[in-house]
Amino acid sequence: MASSKKSPLKDTKQAAKFLRLEPRTLNNMRWKGEGPNYHKHGSRVFYHIKDLKAWSDSHYYGMTANH
């Protein structure tokens, strides 16, 4: 069986840690239809690392004109 450290799939706790969010925040975002894309395997939720990176990159804000 492959090590979970090598798997590109992260559970909610691991995904939240990667994004520096609380797992509860990620759960709430998922419930609201917000946040990164996810996969469901039965009742378990997983996030692919590429989806976490893409979601994070889509929330990048550069400097504003006032700075």
Domain positions in the chain:
9-57
E-strand stretches of 16-67:
39-41, 44-48
If you ran DSSP here, which 8-state letter would residue 43 be given? T
Looking at residue 1, what is its pLDDT? Answer: 47
pLDDT digits (tens, 9 = 90+) for 8-32: 999 999 999 999 999 999 999 999 9
Q: Is the pLDDT of residue 67 over 70?
A: no
Looking at residue 5, what is its pLDDT? Answer: 61
Contact 45, 30 (CB under 8 A): yes
- Look at residues 38, 42, 35, 43 and name the one whose alpha carbon lies nearest to residue 9: 38
d(CA 67, CA 65): 6
Rounded average pLDDT over 35-63 = 93
pTM: 0.79
